[in-house]
Structure 1
Amino acid sequence: MTTAIITDINTRIHTLMMDLGQAKDIVGTSPDISPATNEAARELLRVEKLAVRDRQLNDKSWQTTKQTILTQLHHEILARFKQELEDTDTLYSKVLGINESMPDALDILNVRASSIGRIEPVIATMPWLVKDLIKMVNMPKYRRFDKRGKGIAVDNLRMALSFIGIENLKMVVPSMAMRRWLPQITDPYPSIKSRLWANSIGTAICCRKLAQLKGQDEGMLFTLGMLHNIGYIAVIRLYFRLFDQVLQEALKEAQDGQLKSEYDALRELQPDADFLRDLMMQYGAALSVKIIERMDMRRVYINHAMSEFAKDMPMTKMTPMAKILTQSVAYTRFRLLRDSKLITTDEAKQYLQHFHMPKGSLAILKSTNLGKLDLSMTTNTSDEN
């Protein structure tokens, strides 16, 4: 499969994260507007022909004005964006808001001697995670019952962790962390958050399934799959923050200078999906490497695999973990595109062939729910009081 076609598929998935309509435009599946066929419609077109032409000319001039100003804004945003990328600590703590205890928690969960007693004090330093874990085990589908059939209400961290169990925590903790880091406000593209999540959890689940098939560490590969998008999240958060910042400065400048036309144009500007998509494709993976390195995990050995993936190394030269990540990313992208009818059967076949999926893996992944964690939690009657 040619590099051009792979790039095309990757462009589709990144555009899909922004907006389904724009992704459909790329593959030419936007619904056609049927031409007017009845007499009334033809008469309307004839009568309004000149008026429509004038409006179009005016609209085109106004759109050109707005595009020129947007280009100027993006020039300034890009300069600041590149500058911000140099400060990994600020991206880590301010833009993403990663708690310094999270790497320790992930480390503890991925050692053989991991236990509830060891992980509890670390998780206790993250109140939001404590709250989410307790809320989770009190959900109807996970609730346990005593011998009398009465539901056991969980109100403390130790009990919640015991109910979930270490093996499940290896999936639950990185998943809850990723959900917390997702961008919250992405107007006018509200689907970014849900599609980023679908991409992250799908890749993580694929990584775990392929790890089982290839005899690799399931917990570590699940974490790698979940974290591989963290650089993309930083790009998105940073872009929306900088867009608002630069736009507000430009509005004030136009207002102070009594530049009414420029001011009116600025008020109509919105974040640009194409510009953000290009930022994600250019900087996302490399930034994931920097952030994962900044996490400085001692027991979760995923830095090198993430680096190989970001460099787009030939699969024949990749380490086993990097190969599984690459295959998992590809398969998840295929599923997301297929679900949105943005990839043909022939394209999908060629695309997946390029990644040399392990024997038997496609059948396994086909029957796998990529949007739901496969937790093995006992929900039957418990002896605990």
Structure 2
Amino acid sequence: MAISVAGGVKPGKVIEVEQRHYQKIIVGKQKANTVVDSFDAQAENDANKLEIERQAIRLRVEQQAKSQQIYKAVSAQLTSTVNNAIEHQLASPELVLENSKLEESQILLIEQILASEPNLNRMRPLIANLSWLSRDLVTMINSPASKHRRPKTSDVQVTDLKLVLNYIGIENLRLLIPYFSLRNWLPSGNANLLWTTRKLWRYSMVTAIAAQALAQLHEKDVSLIYSSALMYQMGTAVILNNSISIYDKTWGGWLREASQERDKEVYDAVMATEFPAQKVYEQVLAHGHSLNWQLLELLEFKDSPLTNILKELDEAYYFSDLSVEAQIVAKASSFAKVYLLSEINMIEPAERRVMFDYYQFSEQEILRLKAQNFRKLDLL
């Protein structure tokens, strides 16, 4: 007779599957599956060129004993310097916030769209002050897919923010603002983290779609649960962004110094030293979920429903202790992990059963989720 693990102490097998998922995203070398929400094509080209160059350098180094010794020494020192700087910053949520893209106005905007009756006039100045968000919204409303929302008599681009927001409407802004916010927090245009960013983005999209479906099924606040599901990866996104910033600054400085000194062996050693993905993965496991709510509290959103859900998800010892809203986010996240690991044959049927048992999935919930299209989040 099978023993149920539903809702109690998280079994080791569930922890193992969840860690395998994050390791696949951050450390794994697999490229992300093609999705509708693609990132910078130039970064993809740069990533492929950088990997080819690094492989060529490593092959040359392996053929020369002296160069190999220099490579090992320099690479170890560079990696240690980067890891220490990352660890120092992540030990202080205040430092993390200071070096992140996270701003009070972004969270205030998300808070406003969650209100029962959002005020577009109050939201517009906040959106106008976030140049990346204004740009993304204007680009979206002028895209061919959105033409039905614009005047039919003209192909003129709509650039006035007030008109753009009126065309989009409050209900669509409830989807778009958290969506574009997470994209802004993720690393962008960086060859070293291109595939990691794409995989984390896909995981976030599957989680958000699953959260929407479950919230609708249980007749709960869809906007709150959807926003919480996306912000569940905010801490991880900030860790990745801050870590790649530290790495790029250190790696670039060492490259310039080796170039100025015309030391080709040291230059090659620095060039071949990769972003310390394993160490960053460990930092994500240690700090990712706690930073979700700690950063919001530092921005004076301690009493926000978003903060409360994210704090529950980090601190609750038992799944059954979570509020219904937090349970839905946790279920959506766990379903996304199972779904994405299944795509690449990295989860066994028995592990899938344990995941669904622990997170107390009902047959109705599984059927609802299996009916979803996880290739695209419907925005406009």
Match for 2:228 among 224, 228, 236? 224
Matches within 5 A, 1:141-180: 141-144=145-148, 153-180=157-184
Corresponding pairs, count? 344
| Alignment partner, residue 9 of structure 1 | 17
Aligned to 2:205: 201
1:278-357 residue pairs with structure 2 within 5 A?
278-297=282-301, 300-311=304-315, 313-357=317-361
TM-superposed CA distance for 1:300, in Å, is 4.4
Secondary structure in 2 matching 1:176:
helix
Correspondence for 2:132: 128
Q: Within 2, Cα distance between the matches of 1:8 and 1:60?
A: 39
For the Cα contact (< 8 Å) 2:27–2:278, is it kept in 1?
no
Between the aligned residues of both structures, percent identity stands at: 21
5+ long unaligned stretches in structure 1: 24-54, 378-385
Match of 1:373 in 2: 377
Query: What is residue 36 of structure 2 aligned with on the other side?
Result: none
Aligned amino acid, residue 10 of structure 1: E
Counterpart CA distance in 1 for 2:164 and 2:264 is 59
Higher alpha-carbon deviation: 356-365 or 58-67? 58-67
Report the CA distance shift for 1:230/1:63 in structure 2 as closer, same or farther (over 3 A): farther
CA distance in structure 2 between the aligned counterparts of 1:145 and 1:254, rounded to whole angstroms: 55
| Residues 147-186 of structure 1, C-alpha deviations (whole Å, 9 max, x = no match) | 9765675332222212221111111011111112210244
Partner of 2:90: 85
| CA distance in 1 between partners of 2:299 and 2:120 (Å) | 22
* Larger RCO: 1 or 2 (CA < 8 Å, sep 6+): 2
Instruction: Summarize the Cα distance change of 1:293–1:369 in structure 2 as closer, same or farther, 3 Å threshold.
Output: farther
Distance apart, 1:56 and its partner CA? 12
The Cα shift of 1:241 comes to 2.3
Q: Which amino acid aligns with 1:98?
A: L
Instruction: Provide, for residues 299-342 of structure 1, a one-character-per-residue CA deviation record: whole Å limited to 9, x for no partner.
Output: 84121221222236211111222212211111111111122232
Offset at residue 115 of structure 1 (A): 3.1
Letter in 1 for 2:346: L
**d(CA) in 1 for partners of 2:377 and 2:272?**
42
How much has 1:248 moved relative to structure 2? 5.1
Aligned to 2:42: none
Aligned mate of 1:116, from 113, 116, 120: 120
Q: Which of 227-236 and 348-357 deviates more?
A: 348-357
AA of the residue aligned to 1:346: A
CA contact (8 A) 1:175 1:226 kept: yes
TM-score computed with the length of structure 1 as normaliser: 0.76
2:148 partner SS: coil
Change (3 A) 1:145 1:120: closer
Q: Does the CA contact (< 8 Å) of 1:77 and 1:243 recur in 2? A: yes
- CA distance change for structure 1 residues 10 and 68 in 2, over 3 Å: closer, same or farther? farther
User: 2: CA distance between counterparts of 1:75 and 1:146?
Assistant: 54
Cα distance between partner residues in 1 of 2:280 and 2:358: 27
Q: Contact 1:308–1:318 (CA<8 Å) still a contact in 2? A: yes
Following the alignment from structure 1 to structure 2, what is the Cα–Cα distance between the partners of residues 179 and 259? 39
Distance in 2 of aligned mates of 1:192 and 1:360: 33
1:236 aligns with 2:240: yes
Structure 1's 152 and 242: CA in aligned 2 closer, same or farther, altered over 3 A? closer
Aligned AA (2:122): R
Aligned residues of 2:216 and 2:222 also touching (Cα < 8 A): yes
Q: Which amino acid aligns with 1:9?
A: V
Task: Indicate if the aligned counterparts of 1:93 and 1:99 stay in contact, CA closer than 8 A.
Answer: no
Larger Rg: 1
Give RMSD over aligned pairs: 3.4
**How far does the alpha carbon of each residue in 1:109-144 deviate from its partner, in whole angstroms, 9 at most, with x for none?**
111121323322322222322222122112222213
Task: Map residues 36-51 of structure 1 onto 2, 5 A cutoff.
Answer: none
Residue pair 2:79, 2:273 contacting (<8 A) in 1 also: no
